[in-house]
Amino acid sequence: MGNTGAQSAAVSTIAAMITPALLLLGSASLVASALMRMARVVDRARILSAIAHEGRLDKVGITTDQLRSWLESHALRARYAERSITLLYAAIVVFISTCLSIALDRALGGSLNWLPISSAVAGTLLLLIGGAYMVAESRLSGEQIGAEIALAIRTLERSTAGSTGITSPDSRLSPR
């Protein structure tokens, strides 16, 4: 019968250690999302930089000020994404330490019960701040794409005002 108590203590410890693992899973998912957003920012910034380096501003219908504004916006988005990634990775490390501190606390008879609690709170705060940076990056992204779409629509309106018609995308696909 004494063995049952030891088993239940072990099961209880393992169960307690699994709880931060759920937070780890959520953190990892957010890291993956943040990395994907960072990749998109980098790809778009490289395209815009190539336009600037090749002097193709007039070919794509934007001004120097617009390009500068877009590049500055991408730089800010990249900083937000990078901060988010750093904080979310830090949350993963803290949640792993939370799992280990639970085991250590149990091994020492509950004398360190403050450690896993404070680790879990710290990891959750890192998760919250990292998520807030991703919200800020997402808002910038939305504003930026809105500005790009508005410019494209104005460009289309100017080009259609001076011509009698535009070839439809389907007509370009048909053989001539």
**pLDDT tens string 62-107:** 888 988 999 999 999 999 999 999 999 999 999 999 999 998 998 8
Looking at residue 2, its pLDDT comes to 53
Domain annotation covers residue 62: yes
pTM above 0.85, yes or no: no
Domain annotation covers residue 75: yes
Domain annotation covers residue 129: yes
Give the residue carrying structure tokens 């535009």: 166
Domain annotation covers residue 119: yes
Looking at residue 88, its pLDDT comes to 96
For 104-140, write each residue's pLDDT tens digit: 998 899 899 999 999 999 999 999 999 999 999 999 9
For 135-164, write each residue's pLDDT tens digit: 999 999 999 999 889 888 988 888 887 664
Confidence band of 5 (pLDDT split at 50, 70, 90): low
Domain annotation covers residue 58: yes
Domain of residue 146 covers 19-158
Confidence band of 173 (pLDDT split at 50, 70, 90): very low
Looking at residue 58, its pLDDT comes to 79
Q: Compute the mean pLDDT over every residue in the chain, rounded to the nearest whole number.
A: 85
Looking at residue 21, its pLDDT comes to 82
Domain annotation covers residue 39: yes
Mean pLDDT across the stretch 163-175? Answer: 48
Residue 168 pLDDT more than 70?
Answer: no
Q: SS3 for 176?
A: coil
DSSP 8-19: HHHHHHHHHHHH
What is the count of structural domains for the chain? Answer: 1
Q: For residue 106, give Cα distances in angstroms to 95, 99, 124.
A: 17, 11, 22
What the block records as the tokens of 37 is 């957003």
- Biggest distance spanned by C-alpha atoms of the chain: 92
